[in-house]
Amino acid sequence: MKEYSFDHFRMIEQDASVVAGRWPYTMCEAKQSLRFHRSLPGYRMTPLVSMQCAASYYQVRSILVKDESFRFGLKAFKGLGSSYCMFRILCEKLGLDEKEADYSTFCREDIRQACHHFEFVTATDGNHGKGVSWAAKIFGCRAHVYMPKGTVQARRRAVEEAGSATAVITDLNYDQTVRYAASMAKKQGWILLQDTSWSGYEQYPQWIIEGYLTMAEEITSQMKGVLPTHVFLQAGVGSMAGGMASCFMNICGDVNPLIVIVEPVAAACIYHSVLQGDGNLHSITGDPVTIMAGLNCGTPCSLVWPVLRDASARFCACEDVITEQGMRAYAKPIGSDPAVVSGESGAVTCGLLRAVLESDSLRERFQIDHDSVILLINTEGDTDPASYRRIVS
Ligand SMILES: Cc1ncc(COP(=O)(O)O)c(C=O)c1O
């Protein structure tokens, strides 16, 4: 393992290919999750945008962007996880077979009546809370959402407007807010639906991660047999990145893609954990400040930590300026490439990729050449419209 420092970001390089094995999240889970999502009102496959002009300009085979800013009208991918997890929890509680049931089952009057009794609780920086609020509404349940200090009112309002949750901004940081939500679940008898895991709390986050895999299933069908050589994944607790990395490692077989995990430098808990070199996950403490609100997390998700640690070849910790550059690059693309609306947590991989592509030595470090097929996920649109306008203009 080696660590490097570049303009506006730091990087750990490791050889991921030495680790063989079957990765825990597969296309089986992805297919099951997609089957459920397809049954939801408003489901549409999100676009896989080909940035062909950028690819020609930078002399790579293709740059593909899965654009989650369109997902369920929520402007982020997170509703995939919360809705699938809520579906699995309700199936379990109501004795329904999750392989047979889908959204139409929950439109039956007797099931809807039963759902009214369930109340969910979660902690969120915004997008996960919007997903929980929306999912609670479609299943006819109630939800309580706690947000860390510093959350802008626009994000709190967006959580309430997305569905049936009440949202409260606490005076705690993200990790403390998660613990608070867990304590409220215990006290009030609410169901904790959290998008990260820890010892003793694993089943529900596992279903959330499986819900995210709908993206992997859609991407593989949209790529029509072409496999990515590079997958850039932004991470908060790493649930999304770990699930997606696992799927792509399984799909690609012997020719593993180069997985790049990207975090804000102020809250780079996965980077920090890898750097310790003892194989364990580690938390960062304090009150990290970054505009990448969705990635501002202090402790990696325990379920996916082994995947992130072993499957990834590069870990990057980026300053905010990198994501600002990514937001502008998406908004004003090269040539006739389509513009993509990307928020602070969505654009950091694009900003990083630009920085890499513009430097010969970095291209080499990331093993990028004429044959590279590079996959990015724009995980959110303009979830904070005022900030988006300020940065992009
Ligand atoms: C827009 C966006 N992108 C990426 C992530 C990171 O997901 P995870 O916390 O699973 O790493 C989040 C998390 O909330 C998010 O909101």
Per-residue confidence band for 17, with pLDDT thresholds at 50, 70 and 90: low
Active site residues per annotation: 78, 125
Q: Percentage of residues in the chain with pLDDT exceeding 70?
A: 99
Atom of ligand 1 nearest to the CA of 239: 10
> Between β-strands 119-123 and 191-192, what pairing exists: parallel, antiparallel or unpaired?
parallel
Atom of ligand 1 nearest to the CA of 124: 14
pLDDT at res. 16: 74
pLDDT at res. 141: 97
- Give the mean pLDDT of the chain: 96
**H helices present in the chain, as ranges:** 27-38, 52-57, 79-94, 109-115, 127-139, 153-162, 174-188, 203-212, 214-223, 239-252, 269-276, 305-311, 320-331, 348-357, 360-365, 385-392
For 129-177, what is each residue's pLDDT tens digit? 999 999 999 999 999 999 999 898 988 999 999 999 999 999 999 999 9
Q: Percentage of residues in the chain with pLDDT exceeding 90?
A: 94
Q: CB neighbours (10 Å) of residue 117?
A: 10
pLDDT at res. 154: 86
For residue 128 and ligand 1, the question of a CB distance below 6 A is answered with yes
- Best of 78, 175, 340 to mutate for ligand 1, by most ligand atoms within 8 A of CB? 78
Nearest to 120 by CA among 103, 140, 101, 104: 140
Question: Residue 308 has which token pair?
Answer: 């992130």
Residue 216 has pLDDT above 80, yes or no: yes
For 188-199, what is each residue's pLDDT tens digit? 999 999 999 999
The values of phi and psi at residue 97, to 5°, are: -85, 115
User: Span 79-194: which CATH code?
Assistant: 3.40.50.1100
Query: Looking at the chain, which residues constitute the CATH 3.40.50.1100 domain(s)?
Result: 2-76+210-392, 79-194
For 301-323, what is each residue's pLDDT tens digit? 999 999 999 999 999 999 999 99
Q: What is d(CA 260, CA 314) in angstroms, rounded to the nearest whole number? A: 5
* Diameter of the chain measured on Cα atoms: 63
User: Span 2-76+210-392: which CATH code?
Assistant: 3.40.50.1100
For 29-70, what is each residue's pLDDT tens digit? 999 999 999 999 999 999 999 999 999 999 999 999 999 999
Nearest to 204 by CA among 349, 92, 66: 92
For 373-391, what is each residue's pLDDT tens digit? 999 999 999 999 999 999 9
> Left, alpha or beta for 95 (phi > 0: left; psi -120 to 50: alpha)?
left
Q: For 108-124, what is the mean pLDDT?
A: 97
Q: For 108-118, what is the mean pLDDT?
A: 96
Rounded to the nearest whole angstrom, what is the distance from the C-alpha of residue 175 to the centroid of ligand 1? 14
- Best of 127, 159, 198 to mutate for ligand 1, by most ligand atoms within 8 A of CB? 127
